């Protein structure tokens, strides 16, 4: 903090006032919690429970493979166990755990009180929990997914997997991915807009940089998987042949969509772990992080490169040699930004005086394991070697060295580093060293020998193998190592139980760190900071011991609670200067009810009760609409004082409020899904067999009229925005135009188009039209909401913000409709031109 701001409150009175505003109600009231401390801890604890379940499944796999011709499990049971192990570790543990860590830590590192959208975080958690419970319930019921955690077609199609097993994976994982996308939006908006005053973009903590890049990757990387899951579920439920080669589909389309998500996910898992190391290591080395700006450049370049590597997993499917050369070079090139980070960490250690504590021990374990995983990754990037090692245990070993080793050891390092912050107690560490060595030795014994079984030719994904191939001894050693590793993790769990029960209390900042999360009491209060700091240095080079007491005394921004409102400081994304006060919503059960309604929609899809789905959708829309209902408190028309002699407007009257940025990011994810859909349709045209279909005739005049109607929605919105006396007319025009556009698309799709089950080309046209119609219907909801706001006499600034957010959707819907018409017209021309 550079200057003092006085407050009329003494620290105790200020703490009680803020705790009354921000605190979570006891008992059933905890189900209404939206505070990031509660939600973050829930994410992490739930992820650890799933980790334990996934670990037990891994033990079953290693028991089965410990000996040749094992009868421990039959093929069907093994397929379910194998599929669920991979799915749990990838989708229910790795990413959600770091989501929870980011939700818990980011506001503290950024010097603020909460995330930008507390209700969205709570909704994301409930979606994650309910989606995970669907998968675990299927495992207990014996109908778990059994087509592999990658769900390759045609093995996962209704022909070869006729039960609901694959449907559970497709719908359950899609349900969980809602949580990932909501977390991505919330993390990006928080980092860009909700942080301490003076924290410019080049001063934010290095962990925030990592999470900003990771959240952006999630925003762009998850939609292709969601699209693939939708298309495969549509094929299974309604026989639309996107992956059926006999009707113009192609199984490789699934692989492209899956790995468009799957390879960036490797870095989505690795980068938060690397961010934790970049935060912890300088503290333990006693010196600032070396190469801060170079690391930022490296992680940004890694994010870009990661989206050009998905064919790295498809070298053996018949890709042209020129494309193989490109993807092989790109796969090797991604090692460069990884090496930059590694050498920066080594330089930090070399310039400091490392403390060889338990977190540092786990960091060194990470270095050893991840370097081996990186080297084998470069080996697999080379096409000739990959052709030999593809689908062998060598790939399994590489995957675990990169993902498990590159994730678990940093996770344990940051657990030992930050659990004192969470618990207010320092670890006893009687078991910590033994637990580390058991995990480290067990891990390497388990997976190093898998390299050898892979080089000896043992395929992955088999449930038994014959004797005499030289695999049995190596598999037995791997299995013994896995049990040693499991005992090590059990010892880690016991160590943390002892920490919470017998750990030594301490005053703040036991590590002598320079980041803001240690400038608060531990365990942290629900509001984090009694007032918001102004910083004048990089966020990892501060003095928490000096800043903390001054913030607790209210000597910062927003040091005086106003009208019992939950307020945080909004800043300019680049300069970090305050530009608004963001008023957050209070505790509410709405996220829980909305997630339950969303879960009902997915369960109705799973059990094929399609006639009830419109009702479930109506309930979901109604729940989300209730989020927008104001609490009736007056909105400040003039800028409000935040202390330090500054006055800024409330977020509703600000130029770029968080909700506006959130809609932009949501549309980015939406556009990624749409582009993936168009890419998939064009891929089928280029690569799928049995093309072209017979002549397809479209009612182009109706489609053009639908596009024109969608453009009129933009006209109506701008009319409502610029002329207050014509607001209702403009919104009514948008409403009618959206309904007309959606109706025309649906008319052509259902009444004039041939049966979409006949050929993938017709199915492509059908899905593109449905996409445009769906956006028209959602746009109509936006317009109807704007009319309701006007009729109810809501504050003009609220209506203006609604219209600005609605404009983004109207404009995108119009662009999507125009693209849909253009796609249909071009595909019709291509089909006609190729017809015999």
Residues 6+ apart with CB under 8 A from 821: 700, 703, 704, 706, 707
DSSP state of 401: I
pLDDT of residue 832: 77
Structure token pair of residue 485:
């590793």
What is the pLDDT averaged over residues 250-262?
A: 95
pLDDT tens-digit series, residues 413-432: 999 999 989 998 887 767 89
Separation CA 682–CA 673 (nearest Å): 14
DSSP state of 197: B
Is the pLDDT at 5 greater than 80? The verdict is: no
Q: Are 667 and 809 in contact (CB under 8 A)?
A: yes
pLDDT of residue 337: 95
Percent of the chain with pLDDT strictly greater than 90: 80
Q: Are 178 and 132 in contact (CB under 8 A)?
A: no
Q: Are 138 and 104 in contact (CB under 8 A)?
A: no
User: What is the CATH architecture of 692-834?
Assistant: Up-down Bundle (1.20)
Structure token pair of residue 446:
């388990």
What is the pLDDT averaged over residues 370-398?
A: 94
Q: What confidence category does residue 691 fall into, taking pLDDT thresholds of 50, 70 and 90?
A: confident
Separation CA 767–CA 632 (nearest Å): 42
Is the pLDDT at 660 greater than 80? The verdict is: yes
Separation CA 149–CA 80 (nearest Å): 10
Is the pLDDT at 7 greater than 70? The verdict is: no
According to DSSP, the residues that pair with 583 across neighbouring strands are 567
Q: Where are the alpha helices (DSSP H) in 286-320?
A: 292-306
pLDDT of residue 631: 59
What is the pLDDT averaged over residues 38-48?
A: 97
Separation CA 446–CA 650 (nearest Å): 56
Is the pLDDT at 576 greater than 70? The verdict is: yes
What is the pLDDT averaged over residues 382-394?
A: 94
pLDDT of residue 503: 85
Q: Are 77 and 21 in contact (CB under 8 A)?
A: no
pLDDT of residue 830: 83
Based on its alpha-carbon atoms, the radius of gyration of the chain, rounded to whole angstroms, reads 27
Is the pLDDT at 738 greater than 90? The verdict is: yes
Instruction: Select the more confidently predicted residue: 47 or 833.
Output: 47
Beta strand ranges found along 483-614 (DSSP E): 504-505, 566-571, 578-584
Separation CA 471–CA 450 (nearest Å): 9
What is the pLDDT averaged over residues 621-635?
A: 82
Angle at 128 between CA 122 and CA 132, to 5 degrees: 150
Helix (H) / strand (E) element for 745: namely helix 727-747
pLDDT of residue 835: 56
pLDDT tens-digit series, residues 260-304: 999 999 999 999 999 999 999 999 999 999 999 999 999 999 999
Is the pLDDT at 635 greater than 80? The verdict is: no
Is the pLDDT at 4 greater than 50? The verdict is: no
Q: What's the length of the chain?
A: 836
pLDDT of residue 429: 64
Q: What confidence category does residue 793 fall into, taking pLDDT thresholds of 50, 70 and 90?
A: low
Separation CA 329–CA 332 (nearest Å): 5
pLDDT of residue 321: 86
What is the pLDDT averaged over residues 549-554?
A: 92
CA dihedral 7, 11, 15, 17 (to 10 degrees): -50
Helix (H) / strand (E) element for 725: namely none
pLDDT tens-digit series, residues 317-327: 988 888 899 99
Is the pLDDT at 82 greater than 60? The verdict is: yes
What is the pLDDT averaged over residues 433-460?
A: 96
Average pLDDT, the chain: 92
Percent of the chain with pLDDT strictly greater than 70: 97
What is the pLDDT averaged over residues 22-37?
A: 94
pLDDT tens-digit series, residues 701-726: 999 999 999 999 999 989 888 766 67
Is the pLDDT at 6 greater than 70? The verdict is: no
pLDDT of residue 450: 96
Angle at 605 between CA 100 and CA 260, to 5 degrees: 55
pLDDT of residue 3: 38
Asked whether the whole model's pTM tops 0.85, one would answer yes
């Amino acid at each position: 903090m550079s200057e003092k701001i006085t407050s009329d409150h003494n620290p105790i009175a200020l703490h009680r006032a803020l705790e009354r505003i921000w605190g979570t109600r006891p008992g059933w009231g905890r189900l209404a919690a939206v505070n990031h401390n509660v939600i973050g801890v829930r994410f992490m604890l739930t992820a650890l429970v799933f980790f334990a379940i996934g670990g037990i499944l891994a033990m079953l796999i290693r028991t089965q493979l410990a000996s040749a011709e094992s009868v421990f499990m039959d093929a069907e049971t093994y397929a379910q166990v194998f599929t669920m192990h991979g799915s749990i570790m990838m989708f229910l543990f790795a990413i959600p755990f770091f989501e929870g860590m980011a939700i818990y830590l980011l506001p503290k590192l950024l010097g603020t009180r909460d995330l930008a959208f507390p209700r969205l975080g709570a909704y994301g958690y409930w979606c994650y929990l309910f989606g995970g419970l669907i998968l675990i319930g299927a495992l207990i019921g014996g109908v778990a997914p059994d087509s592999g955690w990658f769900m390759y077609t045609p093995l996962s199609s209704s022909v070869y997997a006729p039960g609901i097993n694959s449907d559970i994976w497709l719908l359950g994982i899609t349900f969980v991915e809602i949580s990932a996308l909501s977390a991505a939006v919330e993390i990006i908006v928080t980092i860009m807009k909700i942080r301490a005053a003076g924290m410019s973009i080049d001063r934010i903590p290095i962990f925030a940089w990592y999470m900003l890049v990771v959240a952006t990757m999630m925003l762009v990387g998850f939609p292709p998987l969601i699209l693939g899951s939708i298309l495969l579920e549509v094929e299974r439920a309604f026989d639309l042949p996107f992956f059926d080669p006999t009707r113009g589909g192609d199984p490789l389309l699934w692989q492209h969509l899956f790995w468009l998500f799957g390879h960036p996910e490797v870095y989505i898992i690795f980068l938060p772990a690397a961010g934790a190391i970049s935060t912890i290591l300088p503290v333990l080395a006693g010196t600032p992080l070396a190469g801060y700006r170079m690391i930022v450049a490296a992680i940004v370049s890694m994010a870009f490169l990661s989206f050009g590597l998905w064919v790295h997993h498809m070298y053996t499917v018949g890709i042209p040699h020129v494309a193989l050369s490109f993807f092989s070079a790109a796969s090797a090139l991604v090692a460069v930004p990884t090496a930059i980070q590694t050498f920066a960490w080594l330089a930090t250690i070399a310039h400091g005086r490392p403390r060889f504590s338990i977190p540092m021990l786990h960091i060194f374990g990470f270095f050893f394991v991840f370097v081996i995983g990186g080297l084998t990754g470069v080996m697999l990037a080379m096409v000739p070697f990959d052709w030999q090692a593809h689908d062998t245990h060598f790939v399994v070993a590489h995957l675990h060295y990169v993902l498990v080793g590159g994730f678990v050891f940093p996770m344990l390092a940051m657990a030992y580093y930050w659990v004192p912050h969470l618990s207010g107690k320092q670890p006893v560490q009687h078991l910590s060293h033994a637990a580390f060595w058991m995990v480290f030795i067990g891990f390497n014994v388990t997976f190093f020998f898998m390299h050898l079984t892979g080089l000896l030719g043992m395929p992955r994904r088999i449930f038994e193998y014959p004797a005499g191939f030289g695999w049995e001894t190596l598999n037995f050693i791997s299995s013994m190592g896995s049990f040693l590793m499991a005992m090590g993790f059990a010892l880690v769990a016991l160590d943390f139980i002892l920490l919470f029960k017998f750990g030594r209390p301490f005053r703040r900042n036991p590590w002598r760190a320079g980041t803001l999360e240690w400038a608060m009491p531990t365990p942290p209060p629900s509001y984090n900071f009694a007032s918001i700091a102004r910083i004048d240095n990089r966020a990892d080079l501060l003095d928490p011991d000096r800043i903390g007491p001054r913030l607790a005394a209210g000597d910062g921004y927003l040091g005086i609670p106003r009208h019992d409102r939950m307020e945080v400081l909004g800043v300019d994304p680049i300069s970090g200067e305050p530009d608004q006060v963001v008023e957050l919503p209070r505790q509410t059960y709405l996220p829980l009810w909305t997630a339950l309604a969303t879960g009902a929609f997915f369960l109705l899809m799973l059990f094929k009760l399609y006639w009830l789905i419109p009702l479930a959708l109506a309930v979901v829309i109604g729940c989300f609409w209730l989020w927008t209902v104001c609490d009736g408190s007056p909105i400040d028309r003039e800028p409000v004082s935040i202390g330090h002699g500054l006055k800024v407007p409330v977020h509703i009257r600000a130029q770029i409020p968080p909700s506006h940025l959130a809609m932009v990011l949501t549309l980015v994810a939406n556009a990624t899904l749409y582009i993936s859909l168009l890419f998939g349709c064009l891929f089928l045209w280029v690569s799928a067999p049995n093309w072209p279909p017979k002549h397809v005739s479209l009612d182009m005049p109706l489609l053009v009229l639908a596009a024109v109607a969608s453009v009129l929605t933009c006209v109506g919105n701008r009319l409502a925005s610029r002329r207050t006396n014509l607001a209702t007319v403009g919104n009514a025009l948008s409403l009618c135009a959206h309904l007309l556009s959606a109706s025309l698309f649906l008319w052509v799709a259902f009444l004039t188009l041939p049966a979409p089950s006949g050929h993938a080309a017709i199915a492509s046209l059908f899905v593109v039209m449905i996409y445009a119609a769906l956006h028209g219907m959602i746009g109509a909801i936006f317009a109807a909401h704007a009319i309701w706001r006007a009729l109810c006499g809501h504050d003009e600034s609220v209506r203006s913000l609604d219209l600005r957010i609605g404009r983004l959707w109207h404009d995108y819907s119009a662009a999507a409709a125009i693209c849909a018409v253009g796609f249909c017209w071009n595909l019709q021309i291509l089909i006609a031109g190729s017809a015999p």
